[in-house]
Amino acid sequence: MAEITAIFWDVGGVLLNNAWDRTEREKAIAKFELDATEFQERHEPLVSSFEKGKLSLSEYLEQTVFYRPRPFIRDAFREYMFSLSQPKLDVLSIAHALASGGRYFMGTINNESLELNLYRIEKFNLLDLFDLFVSSCFIGMRKPEPEIYNLALALTQRKPEECCFIDDRPTNLECPSRLGMHVVQMQSAEQLRKEFKSMGVKIA
């Protein structure tokens, strides 16, 4: 088996909770007393453009929430969206150990809208962990589109068999697996440590 030299991570659902997935949207819908069906009908056609960086957070909210007057201001809704982000400390500790060891190239392959992605990078000091952010909002591609994985390989000049990708969603692991990358479906920090050990990844 080829030695792993690069580790790519999903962010939401692996290192942090999801930024604006169904659970987070449901919390916001409940807090601000929005019509759930109406919100979802407006959200679905926009989510791809939103996560590919083609639609700003302001534009997204204009079409999903503030298309009519509300009894709350935009900043309150934005701040609540940001406040939903929380770290998965046990997994972050593994990532920190790998980054501090300096043995592996560390990158992300993640779907995230621009403003939330930038907020989470700064809030949780992800610049300390990663050499490269292959984020959908930066490159205009989303998982599970094959191009996003091929771009990560091209940017790092790694062979697929030298790379490991961690994601919590099976559909996002199918393409990198076909390309020949090692893949891990994230379940727990303990499980991740065992998977790394079986692949010969050394945690400092």
Q: What is the pLDDT of residue 93?
A: 98
Which residues are within 8 A (CB) of 99 and not within 5 positions of it... i.e. 6 or more apart?
106, 128, 129, 130
For residue 84, give the H/E element and its range.
none
Q: What is the CATH number of domain 22-83?
A: 1.10.150.240
The single-letter code of the amino acid at 14 is: V
* Domain segments of the chain as ranges: 6-18+87-199, 22-83
The single-letter code of the amino acid at 52 is: K
Q: What is the pLDDT of residue 24?
A: 98
Mean of the per-residue pLDDT values of the chain: 97
pLDDT in tens, 36-53: 999 999 999 999 999 999
User: Quick check: 78 and 6 in contact, CB under 8 A?
Assistant: no
Q: What is the pLDDT of residue 2?
A: 85
Same fold flag, 6-18+87-199 and 22-83: no
Number of H helices and E strands in the chain, helices first, is 11, 5
Q: Which residue has the tokens 């930038």?
A: 118
User: Quick check: 31 and 81 in contact, CB under 8 A?
Assistant: no
DSSP letter, residue 68: S
Please state, as a whole number, how many other Cβ atoms lie within 10 Å of the Cβ of residue 204: 11
CA-CA distance, 178 to 174, in Å (whole number)?
Answer: 6
In this predicted structure, the answer to whether residue 16 has a pLDDT above a threshold of 90 is: yes
Q: Which CATH number fits domain 6-18+87-199: 1.25.40.10, 3.40.1130.10, 3.40.50.1000, 1.20.1260.10?
A: 3.40.50.1000
Q: Tell me the pairing of strands 6-9 and 163-167.
A: parallel
pLDDT in tens, 88-106: 999 999 999 999 999 999 9
Q: What is the pLDDT of residue 204?
A: 79
In this predicted structure, the answer to whether residue 189 has a pLDDT above a threshold of 80 is: yes
**Rounded mean pLDDT of 129-146?**
98
